[in-house]
């Protein structure tokens, strides 16, 4: 598709005034909540450039890309490709327009082999029969072109996340895409896998392919980026050429608001130790790690997605088995941790993915709120409506959950309110240790502020909080201590007294 003598800085993609309201699972906007995830975003892409899109989680990067990928429609604004306005009704159409989307969550059929995945939808057929020989040959070539030497007959399930990502790229290449969207591709890659990927990206650039690259890692965008666009809270908050990269300016664009206002911090850590983890290995391959959390202390757990933070949290909570290590809770060792025993002990775990294991989406707010401590609320095993509604109503008021009534099904709530419901169900009985996994993922500013205030309140009431977060300001603003995780073990511990800096945390994540 690359024509000779094309000057490289001609704009091939323009997105203008893109606006998107909070939407439900089908991508239909919930205007009634009137919360905008994206507000009047402008974005343009030149031929053969790597355009890095940065911003905190929930800033709207992924949503913007979903719109470009045709997965969800925009509510306002238009997309222009090669000067012609384009409307994508489906992912297929976007792909046909030459846009290849490498998703954060993988998009392959796990049960069939590489070649079959690559050519799914446009199989090579010779007189009515699949031409497997050709398909294997072609896919091997494509795999080679992304520097991945693997037998295309391998079943995808047996590949690592990184390998699957490479396959998605190869697949996108096979449909001669001219624009690539890479949503945090390096999130779960090892260093040399990353190098392979970057080499590949450089080759693609030289072929005149343009890449929209979403990432948190500054040093990455310095390595491969040409231009940077920063989103904040669903709005453009600035652009920058990598050539004149200025670190502070960029952080300012990303974080922007004065942290103090957002992250209230009135609580004072106490001395009594609530949780102590000793030499815990979250998997056979990783190094042992040890952490402690004190009464009334908020301990931040930083690190990249896939660095093992969630696994650590689930191991402590008992939702997951681990090879070795001891967990001491209020001085005594926990044998065979399990969610049930943890709940009874007063350990609460707010999970990362509320849809998967946080909420029962088909049940109403009231039932979700009371589910966790059901046995404690109703010792006689009989549910008294008045009591139950009382509990639910209290939580709805305390957390300002916006809903028609407590009998509204949670899958009809906005993300922020869903998150509040998850929180409500864990604090409807005061926990001793509260583990928060990405507590503010994908929710709007106001909800965030409220949740931060709530965390502070809980801490000052003596609750020990262990908070996993990918958002620098959140970590820095809320934590009394920060552990940084990398490759499944603790790479750094920082005390507030030493002063938290993004650099130091970033260093930790990359050790």
Partner 1 sequence: MEFIIKKKSILLVGIAAIALLIAGSFIPYFYSANNLLNIIRQSSVVAICAVGVTMVIIVLGIDLSVGGIISFSAMVCGTLMKSGTNIFICILAGAAVGLAFGLFNGVMVAKLGVPPFITTLVVGQVAAGLALVLSNGGSIGGFPESYVFLGNGSFLGMPVSNYIMFVFVALGSLFMAKTKMGNRIYALGGNEMVVKQEGINTKKIKIIVYGISGLCAACGGILLSAQLDTVHPIQGEPYLLDTNAACVIGGVSLMGGEGKIYLAFVGAMVIGLVRNALNMLGMHPFYQNVIIGAIIIIVVAVSVWNKNKNIKESKTF
Partner 2 sequence: MSVSTKTINRTSSVNQFFRRFVKNNGAIVIFVIIFGFALLFVKNFASAQNMLIIIKQSAVPVIACIGMTMVLMTGGIDLSFGYNIGFTSIVAGLLIKTMGAPVWLGILAALTAGAAIGLGNGILVDKVNVPAFITTLGTGYIVLGAAQIVSKGNTINKLPKNFLAVGQTPVGVFNTTILIAIAVAVIFYIILQRSTYGRALSAFGYNKRASFVSGVATSKIHISVYVISGFMAAMTGILLTIRVNCAQPDLGGGDYTFQIITAAIIGGASLFGGKGTIVGSVFGVLIIKVIENCINLAGVQYFLFQAVLGIVILFAIVFESIKNKKL
Least Å distance between CB 319 and partner 1?
A: 14
- Contact between 351 and partner 2 by CB under 8 A: the answer reads yes
- Measured CA to CA, the distance from residue 161 to residue 356 in angstroms comes to 19
- Contact between 274 and partner 1 by CB under 8 A: the answer reads no
Scanning 5-13, 110-118, 321-329, 351-359 for contacts with partner 2 by CB under 8 A, the matching segment is 351-359
Per-position x/- string for 319-348, each x denoting binding to partner 2 as judged by CB under 8 A, each - no binding:
x-------------------xx-xxx----
- Measured CA to CA, the distance from residue 245 to residue 239 in angstroms comes to 10
Buried b (16+ CB within 10 A) or exposed e, 459-496: beeebbbbbbbbbbbbbbbbbbbbbbbbbbbbbbebee
- Contact between 366 and partner 2 by CB under 8 A: the answer reads no
- Measured CA to CA, the distance from residue 50 to residue 223 in angstroms comes to 10
Q: Which listed option, partner 1, partner 2, none, makes contact with residue 378 (CB within 5 to 8 Å by class)?
A: partner 2
Scanning 93-101, 111-119, 218-226, 364-372 for contacts with partner 2 by CB under 8 A, the matching segment is 364-372
- Contact between 158 and partner 1 by CB under 8 A: the answer reads yes
Scanning 29-37, 152-160, 226-234, 370-378 for contacts with partner 1 by CB under 8 A, the matching segment is 152-160
Which one of 362, 387, 407, 446 is in contact with partner 2 (CB under 8 A)?
362
Identify the residue whose tokens are 């941790």: 337
Q: Which of residues 26-55 bind partner 2 (CB under 8 A)?
A: none
- Contact between 374 and partner 2 by CB under 8 A: the answer reads yes
Which of 31, 40, 466 lies closest to 234, judged by CA?
40
Q: Can you give the length of the chain in residues?
A: 511
- Contact between 132 and partner 1 by CB under 8 A: the answer reads yes
**Is the CB of residue 424 less than 8 Å from the CB of residue 399?**
yes
Scanning 153-161, 216-224, 396-404, 420-428 for contacts with partner 1 by CB under 8 A, the matching segment is 153-161
Q: Which listed option, partner 1, partner 2, none, makes contact with residue 190 (CB within 5 to 8 Å by class)?
A: none
- Measured CA to CA, the distance from residue 243 to residue 266 in angstroms comes to 42
- Contact between 111 and partner 1 by CB under 8 A: the answer reads yes
**Is the CB of residue 481 less than 8 Å from the CB of residue 500?**
no
Q: Which of residues 410-469 bind partner 2 (CB under 8 A)?
A: 425
- Measured CA to CA, the distance from residue 43 to residue 52 in angstroms comes to 11
CA distances from 229 to 42, 54, 55, 83 (A): 10, 6, 9, 21
Greatest Cα pair distance in the chain = 80
- Contact between 120 and partner 1 by CB under 8 A: the answer reads yes
Which one of 20, 51, 116, 294 is in contact with partner 1 (CB under 8 A)?
116
- List the structure tokens of 314: 């689930």
Per-position x/- string for 78-107, each x denoting binding to partner 1 as judged by CB under 8 A, each - no binding:
------------xxx--------------x
- Contact between 24 and partner 2 by CB under 8 A: the answer reads no
179-183 and 210-214 beta bridge pairing: parallel
Least Å distance between CB 463 and partner 1?
A: 28
Residue 457 exposure: Cα atoms within 13 Å on the Cβ side = 10
Identify the residue whose tokens are 């409220």: 450
Which one of 375, 405, 407, 430 is in contact with partner 2 (CB under 8 A)?
375
- Contact between 160 and partner 1 by CB under 8 A: the answer reads yes
Q: Which of residues 354-383 bind partner 1 (CB under 8 A)?
A: none
Sign of CA dihedral 66, 72, 77, 80: positive
Which of 279, 337, 339, 282 lies closest to 306, judged by CA?
282
Q: Which of residues 376-395 bind partner 2 (CB under 8 A)?
A: 378, 381-383
Residue 333's CB: how many other CB atoms inside 10 A?
A: 10
Please, which residue, 31 or 340, has the CB nearer to partner 2? 340
Scanning 82-90, 171-179, 324-332, 373-381 for contacts with partner 2 by CB under 8 A, the matching segment is 373-381
Which one of 196, 262, 363, 510 is in contact with partner 2 (CB under 8 A)?
363
Instruction: Tell which phi-psi region holds residue 58, choosing left (phi > 0), alpha (psi between -120 and 50) or beta.
Output: left
Buried b (16+ CB within 10 A) or exposed e, 264-274: bbebebeeebb
Could you list the residues that contact partner 2 (CB under 8 A)? 317, 319, 339-340, 342-344, 349, 351, 356-363, 367, 370-372, 374-375, 378, 381-383, 425
Could you list the residues that contact partner 1 (CB under 8 A)? 71, 90-92, 107-113, 116-117, 119-121, 123, 125, 128-130, 132, 153, 155, 157-158, 160-161, 282-283, 285-286, 308, 311, 488
């Amino acid at each position: 598709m690359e024509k000779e003598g094309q000057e490289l800085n001609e704009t091939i993609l323009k997105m203008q005034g893109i606006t998107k309201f909070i939407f439900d699972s089908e991508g239909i906007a919930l205007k009634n909540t009137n919360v905008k995830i994206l507000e009047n975003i402008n974005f343009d892409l030149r031929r053969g450039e790597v355009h890095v899109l940065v911003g905190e989680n929930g800033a709207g990067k992924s949503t913007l890309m979903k719109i470009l990928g045709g997965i969800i429609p925009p509510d306002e604004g238009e997309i222009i490709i090669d000067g012609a306005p384009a409307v994508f009704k489906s992912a297929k159409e976007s792909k046909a327009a030459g846009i290849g989307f490498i998703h954060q969550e993988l998009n392959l059929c796990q049960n069939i082999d590489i070649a079959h995945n690559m050519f799914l939808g446009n199989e090579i057929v010779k007189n009515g029969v699949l031409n497997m020989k050709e398909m294997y040959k072609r896919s091997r070539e494509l795999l080679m072109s992304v520097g991945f030497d693997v037998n295309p007959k391998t079943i995808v399930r047996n590949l690592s996340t990184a390998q699957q990502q490479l396959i998605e790229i190869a697949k996108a290449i096979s449909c001669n895409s001219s624009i690539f969207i890479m949503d945090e591709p390096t999130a779960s890659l090892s260093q040399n896998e990353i190098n392979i990927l970057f080499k590949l990206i450089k080759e693609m650039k030289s072929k005149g392919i343009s890449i929209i690259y979403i990432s948190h890692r500054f040093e990455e965008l310095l390595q491969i980026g040409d231009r940077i666009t920063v989103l904040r809270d669903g709005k453009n908050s600035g652009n920058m050429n990598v050539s004149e990269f200025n670190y502070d300016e960029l952080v300012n664009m990303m974080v922007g608001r004065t942290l103090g206002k957002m992250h209230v911090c009135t609580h004072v850590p106490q001395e009594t130790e609530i949780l102590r983890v000793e030499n815990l290995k979250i998997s056979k391959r990783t190094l042992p790690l040890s952490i402690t959390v004190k009464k009334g202390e908020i301990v931040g757990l930083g690190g990249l997605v896939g660095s093992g933070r969630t696994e650590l949290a689930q191991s402590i909570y008992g939702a997951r088995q681990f090879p070795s290590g001891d967990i001491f809770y209020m001085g005594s060792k926990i044998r065979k941790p399990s969610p049930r025993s943890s709940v009874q002990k007063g350990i609460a775990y707010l999970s990362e993915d509320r849809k998967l294991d946080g909420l029962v989406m088909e049940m109403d707010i009231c039932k979700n709120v009371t589910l966790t401590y059901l046995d404690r609320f109703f010792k006689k095993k009989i549910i008294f409506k008045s009591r139950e509604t009382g509990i639910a109503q209290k939580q709805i008021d305390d957390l300002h959950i916006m809903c028609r009534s407590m009998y509204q099904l949670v899958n009809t709530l906005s993300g922020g309110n869903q998150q509040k419901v998850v929180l409500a169900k864990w604090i409807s009985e005061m926990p001793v240790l509260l583990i928060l996994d990405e507590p503010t993922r994908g929710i709007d500013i106001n909800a965030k502020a409220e949740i931060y205030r709530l965390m502070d309140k809980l801490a000052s009431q003596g609750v020990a909080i262990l908070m996993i977060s990918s958002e620098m300001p959140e970590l820095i603003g809320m934590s009394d201590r920060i552990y940084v995780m990398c490759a499944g073990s603790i790479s750094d511990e920082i005390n507030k007294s030493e002063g938290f800096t993004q650099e130091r945390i970033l260093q930790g994540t990359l050790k």
